[in-house]
Structure 1
Amino acid sequence: MKELLSEEFYKLIHKRGTWYTPIVLFMAMLAVGFMARHSPDAQWYITAAFAGTEWVLIIMIVVCATTISMEYEYGTIKHLVIEDKGKVRIFLSKFSIIILYDAYLHLLAFGFTLPIKWLMYGGKYSFSANYEYGQSLMSNLINECLIDFLGSIVIIGAALLLSCAAKSAAVAIASGITVIFIGQGVSMMLLRNVGRSIPLLRWNPFNMLNMPNEWSNPAYYENTLLTIKQLMIGNIGYSILFILAAFLMFERKRI
């Protein structure tokens, strides 16, 4: 298992995109900060890491979509299986590296927020100032990143599932971004129209993606119709479901 983890880590750090990602993430966050510098909701943008966590989700969809599909596309999966490493260990090693990379990107988003906040607002909006939930601005930022990290696992599971089902990396990326973001919009529309009359709709997987939004804005409950605790339970449940489904599909996929 240790050897497999080393191989997956080696593959990740030798991807060209891995080295460009921090630069792209910083520039995207800086652009959001620049556009929001005169916004009355400046504190919200700070605690939301200047949308950095949203960009992390898009990056993770791409990473997950290519991690498995490219192994099949280029035939390198045969090399791993021939070495008798077992599909269970192969999948677990890939999943472990993906989770670690996800945590790394969330740490980057948190770290980049600090200089961007200073560049946009200077000494205004102190991190020790009181904000939501009776906590400081810094505590809200940390909690937002942690909540988003938890919520990203369900997306990782879904993206891995799509990656196992797709025949190419390009298809996996396109389908992952399309299904997840369009699905979230469709879910919101359904909940606004019939969410209160059909309670079961509230528990659809796309609604779980709104957990970070509700954490940063409690009034978002009117859109999700679920409490933060319920959204957490749903995220954990769907994460387990999607990851297990992805593993089963990976195990049965023909080489």
Structure 2
Amino acid sequence: MIDCLKQENFKFWHQHFPFYGMAALALFMLETAISGPIKPRIIAQGFGLGQWVILIMITISPTFLALEYKNNTIITLFYKNSNKKNIYCAKFLLTFSYGLLLDAGGFIFALGLKSLFVGDKYSWTIIYENTQDLITTLLLNIGGSIVYLLFIIALCFFLFTLIKVNVAVIGIGIALGFLGASFSQLLMDSFPHYQNLLKWNPLNMINIINQLPQVNYAQHSTLENS
């Protein structure tokens, strides 16, 4: 497993897309900061940090797998590794670690944007939407984004192993990533007698990204944070 991680890490960082992803995140967050008036809600969301990281990971996750098939290196990987699970787990852990890196870098960049464009106008200690202070809300938003990454990376890997068409996986991933929670809600509303069972469907877990910082979202997911 360690050898697989080292091998995948070498391949991952010798591609261009990880650096494009970092640059894209910075540009997206900067665009959010300069495109309109900055309110506490924008700051609490880290200038769109969560949604931008998700979009980037939906693009990068299947691309990382697609390169193996494009270059026919997947056959060599299967030949050299008796346990195919190690290949999958190494790619999954590495991709998730990259997502964590984007979140950490985005958090630091959000602090800088807040200082640059807002200054002391909104203190980090002000109470946001009658729940908790601004910095806590931001950290909870990032926490929800991290949990959500586990779902979206697994979804993209799963879809690519099924259809092996990178563009299609990205499109389906974006659709499910941003419409999946609504579809889950529709499903539970359509079959209220089975709600206790349906609330555990994977798409309902998308609500975690909103529910951690805003507990009132529990009425939609019918799940507790824990």
TM-score between both structures, scaled by the size of structure 2: 0.86
1:107 is displaced (CA, Å) by 0.6
**Corresponding residue of 1:250:** none
Q: What is the aligned counterpart of 1:110 among 95, 107, 110?
A: 107
Q: CA deviation at 1:195?
A: 6.7
Correspondent of 1:120 among 94, 117, 131: 117
The answer to whether the 8 A contact 1:8-1:97 is kept is: yes
Hey, what's the Cα distance between the residues in 1 that align with 2:184 and 2:36?
A: 28
**1:78–1:107 distance in 2 versus 1, CA, 3 Å:** same
Of residues 153, 158, 162, the one that matches 1:161 is 158
Counterpart CA distance in 2 for 1:134 and 1:173 is 35
- The runs of 5 or more residues in structure 2 that have no matched partner are none
Q: Which runs of 4+ in 1 moved over 6 A?
A: none
Contact 1:187 1:206 in 2 (8 A): yes
CA deviation after TM superposition for structure 1 residue 67, in Å: 2.4
Over 3 Å counting, the alpha-carbon distance change for 1:30 and 1:116 in structure 2 is same
State the match for 1:62 in structure 2. Answer: 59
1: CA distance between counterparts of 2:181 and 2:140? 23
Q: 1:186-245, CA deviations, whole angstroms, 9 ceiling, x for partnerless residues?
A: 234445x5475542333332221111212233333343333323xxxxxxxxxxxxxxxx
Per-residue CA deviation, residues 18-76 of structure 1 (Å, 9 max, x unaligned), is: 112222111211222234525xxx22221211111111111112222122233123311
Secondary structure of residue in 2 paired with 1:122: coil
How is 1:173-212 mapped onto 2 (pairs within 5 angstroms)? Answer: 173-191=170-188, 193-194=189-190, 198-199=194-195, 200-212=197-209
Q: Determine if the alignment matches structure 1 residue 24 to structure 2 residue 24.
A: yes
Out of 148, 152, 159, the residue aligned to residue 151 of structure 1 is: 148
Cα distance between partner residues in 1 of 2:133 and 2:69: 48
Aligned residue for 2:12? 12
Aligned in 2, Cα 1:170/1:134: closer, same or farther, shift over 3 Å?
Answer: closer
User: Are the counterparts in 2 of residues 70 and 168 from structure 1 also a CA contact under 8 Å?
Assistant: no
The answer on 1:44 being equivalent to 2:35 is no
Query: What residue identity is the alignment partner of 1:65?
Result: P
Paired with 1:96 and 1:156, the residues of 2 have a C-alpha distance of 10
Matches of 1:73 and 1:86 in 2, distance apart? 22
Task: Summarize deviations over 1:152-178 as a string: whole Å, max 9, x none.
Answer: 211211111112112232232223223
Label 1:105 to 1:133 Cα distance change in 2 as closer, same or farther (>3 A). Answer: farther
Greater fraction of residues in helix: 1
> Any conservation in 2 of the 1:25–1:109 contact (CA below 8 Å)?
yes
* 2:17–2:60 contact (8 Å) kept in structure 1: no
Q: Residues of 2 paired with 1:207 and 1:167: CA distance?
A: 26
Separation of aligned partners in 2, 1:140 and 1:149: 14
Q: Does the residue aligned with 2:93 lie in a helix, a strand or coil?
A: helix
Mapped to 2, the partners of 1:188 and 1:124 lie a distance apart of 38
Separation in structure 2 between the aligned mates of residue 88 and residue 18 of structure 1, nearest angstrom: 24
**1:132 Cα deviation after fit:** 6.1
The residue identity in structure 2 corresponding to 1:173 is I
Q: Post-superposition shift, 1:87?
A: 1.0
Report the 3-state secondary structure (helix = DSSP H, G, I; strand = E; otherwise coil) of the residue aligned with 1:139: helix
Q: Give % identity.
A: 28
Structure 1 residues 228 and 120: CA distance shift in structure 2, 3 A: same
Q: How many residues align?
A: 225
